[in-house]
Amino acid sequence: MCGRYYVDDDTAREIEKLVLQMDEKQRQESIRAVRRIGAGDIYPGREAPVLSEKAGTVCCNWQHWGFPGFQGKPLIFNARCESALEKPMFRDSILHRRIVIPAAWFYEWNPKKEKNTFRRKDIPILFMAGFCRHYEDGEHFVILTTAANASMEPVHDRMPMILEREEITDWMLDDTRTEAMLHKIPCLLERQSDYEQMSLF
């Protein structure tokens, strides 16, 4: 699963590179959204920067992390790739309102409650797949999770679905590729924890 992640100045710079191709008005709107980013942890319930589609291009805006629960149930902030299309709450959003959540890294805790940090070795940003839905107070998003790969398995059996940079546009804009991309295996990540030296898989 994914219940906490981190954004920083590198995250903002990488997002800005992606939105520079937009037309002038949309680019300025996205850059204003990027400039709101400050270094810090993002928790469910908080607003966070996301990449979404606007007029056929990638833009940056802010959304609330998590769908409100029903009848007193807690906030829903993750969805399983394997079953998201079968859930009435998720199906329409995943078919038509897919987004990408940028992060410097995310955290996961092992069964001993020890915190681990996961990041990419090759670039300073992770692109996590997700989708959004409109509520009275604005757009809310959920992060998709998939089965853990070899770098994640020592800590948890689930992880965010990580996209490559070149997959961002396809994920958001190409409805014909959605189902296939839900079955992709994420790249291997670098793991660091407070209780052992950094591990690279």
Residue count of the chain: 201
Enumerate the β-bridge partners of residue 50. 61
Name the CATH superfamily, with its identifier, for domain 5-200.
Answer: SOS response associated peptidase-like (3.90.1680.10)
How confident is the model at residue 70, as a pLDDT?
Answer: 78
pLDDT band at residue 45 under the 50/70/90 scheme: very high
Tokens linked to 99 = 């987004």
Q: What is the mean pLDDT of residues 147-165?
A: 96
Tokens linked to 200 = 């690279």
Q: Token pair 């992880």 is at which residue?
A: 159
pLDDT digits (tens, 9 = 90+) for 91-107: 999 999 999 999 999 99
Question: Is residue 199 pLDDT above 70, yes or no?
Answer: no
By percentage, how much of the chain surpasses pLDDT 90?
Answer: 78
How confident is the model at residue 198, as a pLDDT?
Answer: 45
Domain chopping of the chain, boundaries: 5-200
Measuring CA to CA, which residue among 40, 6, 44, 4 is closest to residue 120?
A: 6
Is the whole model's pTM more than 0.85, yes or no?
Answer: yes
Tokens linked to 24 = 């002038």
Q: What is the mean pLDDT of residues 7-14?
A: 94
Question: Is residue 197 pLDDT above 60, yes or no?
Answer: no
pLDDT digits (tens, 9 = 90+) for 102-155: 999 999 998 888 999 999 999 999 999 999 999 999 999 999 999 999 999 999
**Which of 11-20, 159-168, 176-185 shows the lowest mean pLDDT across its residues?**
11-20
Enumerate the β-bridge partners of residue 102. 127
Q: What is the mean pLDDT of residues 1-29?
A: 85
Averaged confidence pLDDT in the chain? 91
Burial class (CB in 10 A: 0-12, 13-18, 19+), 109: middle
Question: Is residue 72 pLDDT above 90, yes or no?
Answer: no
How confident is the model at residue 26, as a pLDDT?
Answer: 76
